[in-house]
A and B are shown apart, each in its own frame.
Chain A
Amino acid sequence: MKRYRCLWLIVIFHFASSDFIRAETTLEKVDKNGALIIGTRTGSPPFAYVNKNNDWVGFSIDLVEKAIVPVISKKLNKQIKLEKKESAPQTRIPLLTSNAVDLIAETMTDTQSRRDSVDFSLTFFATGAQFLVKKGAQIKGIQTIAGKRIAAQQGSTNAKIIRERVPSAKLIEFPDQPAAFQALAQGQVQAYTNDGIQLAGLRAKAPKPDEWVVVGEFFSYEPYGMAMRKNDSDFRQVVNVGLMDAIASGLYFEIYDKWFGPKGEVPYPLSPETKRFLQMQVVPK
């Protein structure tokens, strides 16, 4: 349980560190280290995961590498490297605030309460929660889960919504996607809820994809953003410019196609509304 030990260390470090040292800005830190450190996932295909060749890849990682790192490099006048560390829903905010990572680039939903603790980039992907079930299961959506055993990911917004909207559902929360899927495959739970796109990714990676279906209408709105330390608007500006340039130049859609296109890891066509929404976020130069 090395991860917990890390967390406690972070806590201790936090109490030991004092505020009278002027906090260095993220750009200064990146400049000094020559590297941008991102926190990302290892088991959330196709956003961030370790693939068959043992490479740590994904859509979110590609966006940082191809859209954001070049902008930072240009701004600092030197080539910046990209370093990756593992983050999870419970560790990502502490990782940021303790300076262990500079940017969270994975599948983090931008929410108002999270904005109290961290700042977000513009939305780089939008999805909603659905259910993954065995083909032919009775569960068809959030209206049909009363009294059913539902797996969710610990620390996710989906679990929160189910607890509020269908209190009679038996919610069992797992720390990561593989454990939740295992429980679904063995019948400990009857459905697994997560963001639709992640379920599609999980299904595509399953040993027998045809045995599983993603069902139900979106019962939540999950806009993904990249999180960074609060009150560092220079860095936030660089990240946003990277994303906006990528959307405006079409680079974003190339990367999208690589992961979600017909030949991508998880075919998931970009709806015209989402495309329009992404383009509307781009402000003029």
Chain B
Amino acid sequence: MNYQFHWNVLWTGQTGGWLLQGLLTTLHLSILGWLLAVMLGITSGALRTTAISLLRWPAGVYVEFFRNVPLLVWMFFWYFGVPPLLPQGLQEWLFEHGVEFWAGVFALGVYHGARFSEVIRAGIQSIPKTQFEAALSTGLTVLQAYRMIIVPIALRLIVPPATNETLNLLKNSSVALTIGVAELTFQTRQIETYTAKAFEALAAGTIIYLVLCLTIARLMARVERRVAIPGLIARGNTDTA
């Protein structure tokens, strides 16, 4: 293979700044998307475990509909599909204020929300039914039992699979480049355009994603240990990942 590596393209000129900008956009996009995903996930995950079918089935429809359509399609949906439905003035305002970024946030949040929902449902369902009944018998209402007993315990149980989902979300944020969001993968391509050095740019992207993901995994492991309730979930104390 006759290819000359020039690693210095990664820090000469503007490329360093682009990588940093891309990293910040990826983080910004992922954090907002994650917050939306977790909110939707907790709500719909909890609803899916209730005894009232009128609450259960809309949550079920949400999960099945959103997790079974590819993320790329959701990106296009929020970017190309939604704006024409809005009034003209609002449309113009959105176009002037970076609609592609918000379309990306919604696509990521809503799609991963459906996936988080299943993780949370599994967490709630792994809690013995007696715990819920005990909560009710102390005089808590159903909503209070969920809010103060069931969901807090479930959230502790699901930290490992939620870490997985979080990493997926971070990496999936790169799909937003299809609607023109200048995130990290986008910037590595930009470097390729300017320098014609594709391998170096891709390698830089790979390493940044790897470092980000490892950091998140570490952080989540620390959260897991920090919030563990002694005696309730023993695993939390022995895991030293």
Contacts and interface: CB of A to CB of B under 8 A. Distances in A.
Nearest to B5: A14
Contact of A97 (B3, B180, B206): B3
Interface in A187-209: 187-189
Interface in B1-52: 1-4, 6
B100 to A, nearest CB: 6
A183 B80 contact: yes
Indicate the member of A23, A174, A188 with the most B CB atoms within 10 Å.
A188
Interface in B163-189: 174-175, 177-180, 182, 185-186, 189
B198 A93 contact: yes
A114 B195 CA distance: 7
A154 interface: yes
Interface residues of B, number: 38
A97 B1 contact: yes
Contacts of A84: none
Contact of B95 (A93, A117, A149, A229): A149
Interface in A233-270: none
A173 B196 contact: no
B83 A186 contact: yes
B203 interface: yes
B231 interface: no
Contacts of A19: 1
Contact of A1 (B4, B175, B190, B196): B175
Given A179-B179, A230-B2, A160 B186 contact: no
Contacts of A113: 194-196
A19 B80 CA distance: 47
Nearest to A111: B196
B180 A187 contact: no
Contact of A23 (B2, B179, B194): B2
Interface string A81-112: 00000000111011001110000000000010
A151 interface: yes
B79 A23 contact: no
Nearest to B99: A188
A155 interface: yes
For the complex of A and B, the 9 pairs showing the least CB-CB separation, nearest first, are A172-B180, A117-B196, A155-B193, A114-B196, A90-B189, A97-B3, A94-B198, A93-B198, A113-B196
Contacts of B196: 93, 111, 113-114, 116-118
A7 interface: yes
A155 B189 contact: yes
B1 A174 contact: no
**Majority-rule SS of B interface residues:** helix
Contacts of B190: 154-155
Given A7-B202, A113-B195, A113-B196, A173 B2 contact: no
Interface of B: 1-4, 6, 72, 79-80, 83-84, 91-92, 95-96, 99-100, 174-175, 177-180, 182, 185-186, 189-190, 192-199, 202-203, 206
Contacts of A230: 2-3
A89 B174 CA distance: 17
A14 B199 contact: yes
A1 B154 CA distance: 33
A11 B96 contact: no
B178 A188 contact: no
A54 interface: no
Given A11-B199, A114-B196, A230-B2, A188 B177 contact: no
A40 B33 CA distance: 36
A94 B79 CA distance: 30
A12 to B, nearest CB: 10
Nearest to B81: A186
A175 interface: yes
A258 to B, nearest CB: 31
A17 interface: yes
Contacts of B175: 1
B193 A89 contact: yes
Given A90-B193, A175-B178, 13 more contacts: A1-B175, A14-B199, A17-B1, A94-B199, A116-B4, A116-B196, A117-B198, A160-B193, A172-B180, A182-B80, A183-B180, A186-B83, A188-B99
Nearest to B189: A90
Contacts of B199: 11, 14, 94, 97
A12 B96 CA distance: 41
Contacts of A118: 196
